[in-house]
Structure 1
Amino acid sequence: MTGHTWRYVDGVDAFLDRAGTFLHARPALHTVFLTVTEALRTRGPYVYGDEAPVFGVLEGTKGEVGAAFFRTPPQRLTLTPLAKERTGTLARWLAEAGHPLPGVSADRATAEAFTEAWRHATGATATLHRSQRLYRLGTLTPPRPAPLGRARIATARDRDHLARWHVEFAESVGAAPQRDPGAWVDARLAHDGLTLWETPDGTPVAMAGGTPQVAGQVRVAPVYTPAPLRGRGYAGAVTAEVSRAAVAKGAEEVLLFTDLANPTSNGLYRRIGYEPVRDFAVYDFDGPGPGR
């Protein structure tokens, strides 16, 4: 990538104009980029926080894009897969620009290389926050026997329940919930993006979400069962239903992330037909930062 230069891009529309073809070429590896930019495009730039998102691309002399990044403050930097030497140039460029970073999220090799480069550039220390695995649906195999009950698309009458579960899910995985959980639910309900598993008496016991289809891919997220109700097959059943529905609606790829520290969920998704794609890592930064 000789001659490539890192550049900021102002706004989600301009970012997609520059990087859209690049992102669409590998929709599975770029699923977070595709789904986050879709939310920003349709729901506004402040859906994830009070500050405007930051976007950038690695651009060649003819305008070709070789990599991209975004950040929705106060969240971490998110990177596309990147050669090790390019992580160094990016870290130095961001540090020289005085851009503060609370952490980074990327495929594991990129995240590790950028973390080391950021440490050299700024003196910051890093802590591994989470190791993840990206899965792609192969042949769907719904769990048999299925737990008692049924799946149904969530509706407005479930709003308060779902908003509470969204907060509980975020807390359970160590993530910050959206600043307006009710608005998060409303956005999902607008495209039938949340499915519940309910017992025969109509009590909701688990939920699974699906992102809007972008570039032929849908990502299943979140999947949540309250702690007292786990181990009864509800998560597998509702995930299988969301996966089936995505395929029925024309999704070419159905994806999901798992926490590698949770062998139960990784085993569950493999049993219903998900196959590993690549490992990812999330790091938190602490220390002097830019301008030390």
Structure 2
Amino acid sequence: MRPENWYLTDDLDEFLSRAGDFLRSRPALHTVPLTVTDALRRRGMHLYGREAPLFGLLEAGDGAVRAALLHTPPFQINVTALTPQEADALAVRLAGLGRSLAGVSGPKDATEAFAAAWQRRTAAAVAVGKRQRLYRLGELTVPEPRPRGRARIAGPADRELLIRWFEEFEEITGGVGQDPGNWADARISYGGVTFWETDDGTPLAMAGATPETAGQVRIAPVYTPAALRGRGYAGAATAEVSRAAREAGASEILLFTDLDNPTSNGLYQRIGYRPVSDFAVWRFGD
């Protein structure tokens, strides 16, 4: 596998025209590139940072796309499934361009292969930052006992709370730094966050959802302030968002969990989510 076989571009339209069918062919496994490219298309190429995104694809001899990547600095590079040879060729290509990478995210085996290749080619320190599992909703089961309260879609008056909760969520999960105000504005614009709140209107937890693209919706983020955890609020909010996505016509409703958090993994399975595949995030250092 030669490094030059990887085609790289900063043109989103060109990337989607060439790789779009490939991404849509497996919408669950490709949920991240599908939702990120959709957000870039709708909200601008510098949505995630000042540096321009980079896209890439790898074609087989018959012209069919077999792998893809996207990089929206300062986030990690995201890759689809790769063989070790494909991962090594990509590492050579990106290292040759002097591309700075904070890490890699994607399917477990692909990220492990790319991290090893990146270390070989750049001598960078690499370490697993997060082990994840992708789940798909089967039969929705509302968790019992249902906590007191009700669901409500967050609106403009909730902007400051959304910003604060998103900042807290990012701190806990080790987020890379998407602008909280931009995130809140985007979610408010399409009703992308649902609160579970008290009967008098005090928010207790939130569950978000990405816009539908290629038939799939991903639930994220799910957050409850520390003092309110363990009372079923996050489960109730997640069940409500999942129900709404299904009723709106999404064919696949997905979410990622941190495998080091058995509480959330157990919760989502009780709601009706079933494992699809394991993913990982690797972090790179000097």
TM-score, reference length from structure 2: 0.97
Deviations 1:243-269 (A, max 9, x none): 000000000000000111100000000
CA contact (8 A) 1:4 1:61 kept: no
Structure 2 CA distance for aligned equivalents of residues 62 and 5 of structure 1? 13
CA contact (8 A) 2:115 2:126 kept: yes
Consecutive aligned runs of 4 or more in structure 1 exceeding 3 Å deviation: 1-4, 60-63
Structure 1 CA distance for aligned equivalents of residues 186 and 259 of structure 2? 29
Instruction: State the SS of the aligned residue for 2:66.
Output: strand
Counterpart amino acid of residue 265 in structure 1: S
* Offset of residue 177 of structure 1: 3.5
Listed as ranges, the gaps of 5+ residues in structure 2 are none
Counterpart amino acid of residue 186 in structure 1: D
Structure 1 CA distance for aligned equivalents of residues 199 and 23 of structure 2? 43
Aligned residue number for residue 220 of structure 1: 219
Instruction: State the SS of the aligned residue for 2:190.
Output: coil
* Offset of residue 155 of structure 1: 1.1
Deviations 1:100-135 (A, max 9, x none): 211111111111111111111111110111111100
CA contact (8 A) 1:154 1:195 kept: yes
* Offset of residue 5 of structure 1: 1.4
Counterpart amino acid of residue 139 in structure 2: T
* Offset of residue 10 of structure 1: 2.5
CA contact (8 A) 1:3 1:61 kept: no
Counterpart amino acid of residue 167 in structure 2: V
Structure 1 CA distance for aligned equivalents of residues 219 and 272 of structure 2? 13
CA contact (8 A) 2:4 2:93 kept: no
CA contact (8 A) 2:3 2:90 kept: no
Structure 1 CA distance for aligned equivalents of residues 219 and 102 of structure 2? 26
Aligned residue number for residue 265 of structure 2: 266
Identical columns (%): 58
Aligned residue number for residue 158 of structure 1: 158
Aligned residue number for residue 189 of structure 2: 190
Deviations 1:124-147 (A, max 9, x none): 110111111100000000111210
CA contact (8 A) 2:2 2:89 kept: no
Paired positions, count: 286
Deviations 1:64-89 (A, max 9, x none): 21100011111111100111221111
Listed as ranges, the gaps of 5+ residues in structure 1 are 288-292
Aligned residue number for residue 100 of structure 1: 100
1:149 corresponds to 2:163: no
Structure 2 CA distance for aligned equivalents of residues 3 and 113 of structure 1? 15
